[in-house]
């Protein structure tokens, strides 16, 4: 009987313990205290320009929270992340505003399921009104006719007119493009039509832009003899600014000859060749007003930097250097002494070499020649505007470091043809694709066939 009594008593105690246990655990949970939510600095909004913006904010809270847009349809601004637990960080991400209108969006903070009474307002300024046509101001069309396209980059509404639409048919118009088909020119004379693009709203009337569409009458050779030199530039004019300094190729070759005349070139320790004259920062102090690179390169010598935002055109020694790490560039120009109405086939030659690093490695550079306007590259078809890749790569640690001669034939070009040389990379590509250029020359290659 005592044994049975003991078993029953133990069972009762165990059951009582199980009943008490959950209550004890619940009482042990940490109490988060009174709810609170604040943003460091106590901002009530964000005012920003038309450019893209990211602004971080730090949250102090002891409850779950959300950042909720009051306009579910808007896509130009958001919070990332848009929710969190306790303390955290969120970023207001604002896209660029390409419109001519200011815009605003409100965000609410929801804390532990309760929307807070104060809204967070994001206000973004409008972009400046713009209307840009490309190409401009002249489009040249071959006598045989064909497609004519004008790119329109604008943030205002616009209309267009043609001064002479008799030979320009099949207009196709989108928000970013105007296109026509030019008829063959059998009139015996050059003809042109002025395209005028005008903003719809009077307040933007000053943005009105015109492009002249000009068609030559036929494929007529300019009459210059084969071998005639239209233009030649050995870039010795660069010496006026460098005084012969920053000659990277000579610096490296002299160092190799002095220290490693029999070969056995090292894998490090090559002289730094970063010193150079960035033409975007250059001021020619001998001129009373000072010359910036635009006057030196463009106005005086006819070249245009194809990627001016990167600021990667340099004077070095008696030649030029292009590119930095993660930034590529090149030059563009017309061909002097060519004719506006008659064509020519031109042999374009130049010397190029890649940059060398402190380890004796050469940048792996492939160049391209591209034209806009009349003509074609490498083949006489009037359509091919881009050359095949021109390989100027060199085997690492081979000396002497020297320029490599390059050649491209341009067919059917006129004074309206723009010729550019550049790498096969875009201005936004990462990596090192630096190169040097010297001895640019354009000479008559052959007679244009009708």
Mind listing the pLDDT tens digit for each residue in 57-79? 999 999 999 999 999 899 999 99
Mean pLDDT over each residue of the chain, to the nearest integer: 86
Given a cut of 90, whether residue 295 has pLDDT beyond it is: no
Q: Lowest mean pLDDT: which of 82-96, 289-303, 389-403, 417-431?
A: 289-303
**Is 201's pLDDT higher than 80?**
yes
Reported as a single tens digit per residue, the pLDDT across 173-189 is: 999 999 999 999 876 56
Q: What was the pLDDT predicted at 185?
A: 86
Rounded Cα distance, 447 and 445, in Å: 7
287 pLDDT higher than 50? no
Residue 263 has pLDDT above 80, yes or no: yes
Is the model's pLDDT at 289 over the cut of 60? Answer: no
Per-residue confidence (pLDDT) for residue 107, from 0 to 100 = 96
Q: Is the pLDDT of residue 27 over 50?
A: no
> What is the pTM assigned to this prediction?
0.56
The mean-pLDDT minimum among 127-136, 228-237, 244-253, 354-363 falls in 244-253
What's the average model confidence in pLDDT over 199-225? 91
């Amino acid at each position: 009987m005592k044994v049975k009594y003991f078993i029953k008593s133990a069972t009762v105690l165990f059951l009582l313990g199980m009943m008490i246990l959950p209550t004890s655990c619940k009482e042990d949970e940490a109490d988060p205290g009174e709810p609170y939510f604040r943003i460091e600095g106590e901002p009530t909004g964000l005012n920003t320009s038309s450019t893209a913006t990211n602004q971080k904010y730090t949250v102090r809270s002891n409850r779950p929270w959300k950042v909720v847009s009051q306009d579910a349809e808007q896509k130009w601004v958001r919070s990332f992340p848009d929710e969190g637990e306790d303390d955290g960080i969120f970023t207001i991400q604002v896209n660029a505003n390409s419109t001519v209108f200011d815009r605003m969006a409100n965000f609410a903070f929801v804390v532990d399921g309760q929307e807070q009474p104060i809204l967070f307002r994001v206000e973004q300024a409008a972009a400046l009104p713009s209307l840009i046509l490309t190409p401009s101001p002249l489009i040249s069309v071959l006598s045989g006719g064909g497609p004519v396209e004008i790119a329109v980059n604008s943030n205002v509404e616009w209309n267009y007119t043609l001064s002479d639409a008799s030979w320009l048919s099949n207009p196709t118009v989108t928000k970013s493009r105007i296109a026509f088909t030019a008829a063959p020119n059998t009139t015996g004379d050059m003809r042109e039509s002025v395209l005028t693009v005008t903003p719809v709203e009077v307040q933007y009337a000053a943005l009105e832009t015109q492009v002249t569409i000009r068609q030559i009458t036929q494929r007529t050779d300019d009459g210059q003899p084969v071998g005639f030199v239209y233009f030649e530039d050995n870039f010795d004019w660069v010496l006026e600014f460098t005084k012969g300094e920053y000659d990277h190729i000579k610096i490296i070759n002299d160092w190799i000859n002095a220290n490693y005349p029999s070969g056995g070139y090292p894998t490090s320790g090559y002289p730094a060749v970063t010193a150079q004259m960035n033409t975007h920062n250059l001021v020619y102090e001998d001129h009373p007003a000072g010359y910036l690179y635009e006057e030196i390169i463009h106005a005086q010598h006819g070249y245009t930097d194809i990627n001016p935002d990167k600021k990667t055109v340099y004077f070095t020694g008696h030649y030029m250097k292009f590119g930095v790490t993660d930034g590529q560039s090149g030059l563009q120009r017309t061909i002097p002494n060519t004719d506006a109405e008659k064509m020519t086939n031109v042999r374009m030659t130049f010397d190029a070499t890649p940059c060398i690093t402190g380890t004796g490695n050469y940048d792996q550079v492939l160049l391209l020649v591209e034209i806009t306007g009349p003509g074609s590259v490498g083949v006489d078809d009037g359509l091919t505007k881009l050359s095949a890749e021109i390989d100027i790569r060199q085997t690492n640690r081979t000396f002497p470091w020297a320029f490599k001669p390059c050649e491209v034939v341009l067919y059917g070009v006129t004074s309206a043809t723009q010729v550019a040389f550049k790498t096969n990379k875009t201005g936004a590509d990462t990596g090192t694709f630096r190169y040097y250029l010297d001895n640019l020359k354009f000479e008559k290659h052959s007679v244009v066939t009708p």
